[in-house]
């Protein structure tokens, strides 16, 4: 009896340890780093944009008659290079006007490289094989922060014949890897900050409160305060102001379990449905049935006999079939979670398109306890 009791006791201890390990693993899997939930003040990029020209195209550039701005920009570029084209009748087809966009990374220093995106704004057919001429990139304040230039990698190909054309991808847009050089730095001194603000990417009261408590628990003093659902204010201790980068690195690696309201996101164009795990439904009955009407036209030609007076006529033949699937009704119990809802709707043989209508009707009936977003 003692041996049996020991064995049972060991099994119980093993099961208890395994259960605790499983629960800890699930909790750990649902947590996220603070750096994946927030944006730190000042640690952000800046958008840049510029207007330039792509040259060297194989006859696929802008038609200057339909794009006069391309001709004007080309004339200005040539005049800056000492070439006078005033009054000259030149209409090359190897030039295209483009908009150049880039993102200036945070703390980018002068001389560093950034990727740029080039997009045609005229009637150019393809930018394949072209090269971007030196283009200044401006920020929202109107100042030049970078200059872009280099060969372009187009995103597709275009082929044209006398009777048909074939386009693969988007040949009127492309990228230049490391094609922009930073010329001006964004003035920002991280070491001068006495407080750091954490901006939540998805504002939520519960998540902000959890971030506040996790940071204060880590620091051992109440330095973090949740100002609103989207902002957590963090005071930098005096001892860490000389090493603020390391201080932020220690904060952003902390694990926090985020919380979000229940949402159902529907994309009508693609028929995509995304439902959160916290979606709940009250008791409701669902019925789904389809009515299919199929019309088939098989016209027949009636011809008169040889040497007979008459005309050839077309006799219409229409076949109409009406099919109605069996109507089935299912009761969805109250408190149903996401997995049970999907399993119940799939049991009715409902596709994504019909499921969108059913979810909309359930929301209208007040039985869907979640935010319903239609895109």
* Tens digit of each residue's pLDDT (9 = 90 or more) over 298-314: 777 777 777 666 677 77
Query: Mean pLDDT over residues 346-370, rounded?
Result: 76
Q: Closest Cα partner for 114 from 100, 125, 127, 128?
A: 100
The pairs formed by 201-207 with CB atoms below 8 angstroms and a separation of 24 or more are: 201/37, 201/38, 201/39, 202/37, 202/258, 202/260, 203/228, 203/229, 203/230, 204/229, 204/258, 204/259, 204/260, 204/261, 205/229, 206/259, 207/37, 207/256, 207/258, 207/259, 207/260
Shortest CA distance to 53 belongs to which of 99, 90, 15? 99
Burial class, 344, CB count within 10 angstroms (exposed 0-12 / middle 13-18 / buried 19+) = middle
Q: Which range among 28-32, 45-49, 86-90, 238-242 has the greatest average pLDDT?
A: 45-49
Contact 178, 114 (CB under 8 A): yes
Q: What is the three-class DSSP state of 366?
A: coil
What local confidence, expressed as pLDDT, does residue 332 receive? 55
Structure tokens at 50: 């510029």
The residue among 40, 39, 369, 37 whose CA lies nearest residue 206 is 37
Give 6's pLDDT tier (boundaries 50, 70, 90).
very low
* Residues 39-75: tens digit of each pLDDT: 887 677 889 999 999 998 888 888 876 677 777 787 7
For residue 57, what are the contacts with CB-CB under 8 A and spacing of at least 6?
Answer: 93, 94, 95, 96, 124, 126, 127, 128, 129, 130
**Closest-CA residue to 190 (of 89, 44, 56, 72):** 44
Q: What is the pLDDT of residue 28?
A: 45
pLDDT band at 135 (very low <50, low <70, confident <90, very high): very high
The yes-or-no verdict on residue 22 having pLDDT over 60 is no
Would you state the pLDDT for residue 329?
55
The answer to whether the beta carbons of residues 250 and 265 sit under 8 Å apart is no
User: What backbone phi and psi angles, to 5 degrees, belong to 68?
Assistant: -65, -25
pLDDT of residue 283: 74
Q: Where along the chain do its domains lie?
A: 46-182, 189-256, 264-294+325-374
Q: Which has more pLDDT, 19 or 294? A: 294
pLDDT for position 269: 75
Q: What is the pLDDT of residues 326-339, one digit of tens each?
A: 555 555 555 566 56
Q: What are the beta bridge partners of residue 38? A: 200
The pTM score is 0.58
Mean pLDDT of 14-43: 62
Q: What is the pLDDT of residue 13?
A: 40
**How confident is the model at residue 21, as a pLDDT?**
42
- Alpha-carbon distance of 204 to 183, in angstroms, equals 39
In this structure, what token pair is assigned to residue 235?
Answer: 């005071």
């Amino acid at each position: 009896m003692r041996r049996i009791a020991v064995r049972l006791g060991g099994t119980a201890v093993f099961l208890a340890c395994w259960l605790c390990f499983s629960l800890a693993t699930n909790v750990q899997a649902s947590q996220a780093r603070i750096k994946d939930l927030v944006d730190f003040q000042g640690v952000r990029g800046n958008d840049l944009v510029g207007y330039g020209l792509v040259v060297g195209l194989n006859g696929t550039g802008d038609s200057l008659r339909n794009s006069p701005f391309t001709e004007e920009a080309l004339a200005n570029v040539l005049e800056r290079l000492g070439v006078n084209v005033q009054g000259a009748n030149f209409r090359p087809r190897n030039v295209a006007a483009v908009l150049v966009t880039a993102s200036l990374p945070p703390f980018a220093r002068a001389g560093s490289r950034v990727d740029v995106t080039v997009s045609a704004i005229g009637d150019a057919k393809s930018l394949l094989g072209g090269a971007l001429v030196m283009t200044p990139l401006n920020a929202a304040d109107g100042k030049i922060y970078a200059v872009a230039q280099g060969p372009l990698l187009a995103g597709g190909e275009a082929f044209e014949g006398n009777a048909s054309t074939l386009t693969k991808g988007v040949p009127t847009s492309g990228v230049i890897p490391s094609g922009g050089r930073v010329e001006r730095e964004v003035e920002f001194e991280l070491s001068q900050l006495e407080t750091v603000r954490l901006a939540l990417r998805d504002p939520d009261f519960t998540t902000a409160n959890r971030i506040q408590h996790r940071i204060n628990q880590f620091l051992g003093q109440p330095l973090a305060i949740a100002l609103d659902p989207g902002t957590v204010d963090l005071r930098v201790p005096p001892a860490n102001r000389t090493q603020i980068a390391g201080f932020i690195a220690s904060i952003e690696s902390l694990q926090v379990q985020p919380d979000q309201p229940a949402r159902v996101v529907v994309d009508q164009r693609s028929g995509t449905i995304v439902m959160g795990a916290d979606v709940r439904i009250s008791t409701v009955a669902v019925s789904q049935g389809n009515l299919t009407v199929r019309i088939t036209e098989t016209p027949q030609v009636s011809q008169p006999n040889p040497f007979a007076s008459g005309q050839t006529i077309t006799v219409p033949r229409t076949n109409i079939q009406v099919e109605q699937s069996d109507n089935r009704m299912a009761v969805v119990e109250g408190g149903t979670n996401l997995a049970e809802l999907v399993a119940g709707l799939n049991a009715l043989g409902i596709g994504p398109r019909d499921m969108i209508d059913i979810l909309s009707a359930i929301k209208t009936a007040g039985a869907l306890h979640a935010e319903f977003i239609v895109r």
